[in-house]
Chains A and B, each alone.
Chain A
């Protein structure tokens, strides 16, 4: 079965950086794009960016351009999201999500989420 398993909770100070991993399984890694989405406490969702392993490309939301880097390792079917220059507003649960094969590009499978707390 399809699974996306993320790394554990992180605590960072303002100005630090963090890397969250998302190990996928149960499908051919290069057949689907993977997205990162975050959810601040009690808030809605913010799309962060997309990883396209089959094309070797990434695209990020303009709001985070310059602070976020997404990479992947095809040999382990793992996607990584690095966020730098952390600020308190980055405190959120970070999710990786697989893009479906449907025309609407929905997110059909999600990781369990990784809580990032940014606090001095």
Chain B
């Protein structure tokens, strides 16, 4: 069975400081990992994904994430937070062993960037 854990419901960070939103996963086979962002009353927007290759992946709006196989983690990071980054962030996984094409989402982390 696949699962995704986002241990922090809420992350607060000051504008200009680095931010990290944590994600750990559990799958049977190799994981395909994704990050999505949701602004208020909007749909989910794709930020970045890890499929294979370089463990550090770069995505939209200056975000990046690092795949760590030994720790089964895929934390989202940004060197300098903006107030406009305040939103709900979801980590998601696709388990390649099951052959299923859908994504399984974590519970979300609300990021608040304080001016």
Do the two shown chains form a genuine complex with each other?
A: no
Q: Which residues of A contact B (CB under 8 A)?
A: none
Q: Which residues of B contact A (CB under 8 A)?
A: none
